[in-house]
Chains A and B, each alone.
Chain A
Amino acid sequence: QVQLQESGPGLVTPSQNLSLTCTVSGTSISSGGYSWSWIRQHPGKGLEWIGYISYTGKTSYNPSLRSRIHMSVDPSNYHFSLRLSSVTAADTALYYCARVGFSSRSGSYSFFDYWGQGTLVTVSS
């Protein structure tokens, strides 16, 4: 069974960097050619896609956050990471990692089939 677990500091100081790691178990990051994503949910609000990274390191980011995002992947250690720079209170959210699933019907990656439990990050001084 594929499982994902987010980890990182629960509190980040404004203007600093937010760094999160997602540890994958039950499968290899590089098997199946999947991509791995970050999604966040502001308190009491909806879902916002942040970006994804393939097992080869190819990335795609949300244009609204692109200038502040960096993602990396470490297949040998079964994890991938997110760094969000220059955070403000608006970055306070529940951060999820998820796998981008592949459909053999369409031959493309087009949904999030496994999610972590989420980790709450608060930006405050």
Chain B
Amino acid sequence: IVMTQSPLSLPVTPGEPASISCRSSQSLLHSNGYNYVDWYLQKPGQSPQLLIYLGSYRASGVPDRFSGSGSGTDFTLQISRVEAEDVGVYYCMEALQTFTFGPGTKVDIK
């Protein structure tokens, strides 16, 4: 499975919304009804941290300004109001076959 993301670079304004798209070469919708896609944020100098799992479920401790949506092959991560601490590289990852990550979207402040 090949994962692609767009844009690869996203300058954002604090307080404004932001959106990242992720597309998979094969459907990530399992027969159990769940989409096996996760979202991670890697802040500068840190390890990646889980934001969203199974397409739309926020991980423990993740602010509710982060949301995930989509099904099949097209997914979106949305930040309702960007904060300065949200800068970093965002990765989507398929968890249906071999845990393949997307190339990453670098988010920084305008």
Contacts and interface: CB of A to CB of B under 8 A. Distances in A.
A86 interface: no
Interface stretch (A24-32, A73-81, A110-118): A110-118
A3 to B, nearest CB: 11
B103 interface: yes
A interface majority secondary structure = strand
A80 to B, nearest CB: 16
Contacts of A39: 99
Given A106-B34, A115-B48, A46 B98 contact: no
- The 3 A-B pairs with the shortest beta carbon distances in the complex, nearest first, are A49-B99, A110-B95, A115-B47
A117 B98 contact: no
B50 interface: yes
A116 B47 CA distance: 7
Given A46-B103, A111-B95, A113-B59, 8 more contacts: A47-B48, A47-B104, A103-B34, A103-B57, A108-B32, A111-B38, A112-B38, A117-B47
Interface of A: 37, 39, 46-49, 62-63, 96, 101, 103, 105-108, 110-113, 115-118
Contacts of B66: none
B91 A47 contact: yes
B36 A63 contact: no
5 contacts: A105-B57, A110-B38, A111-B38, A111-B93, A111-B95
A46 B57 contact: no
Most buried by A among B30, B38, B99, B104: B99
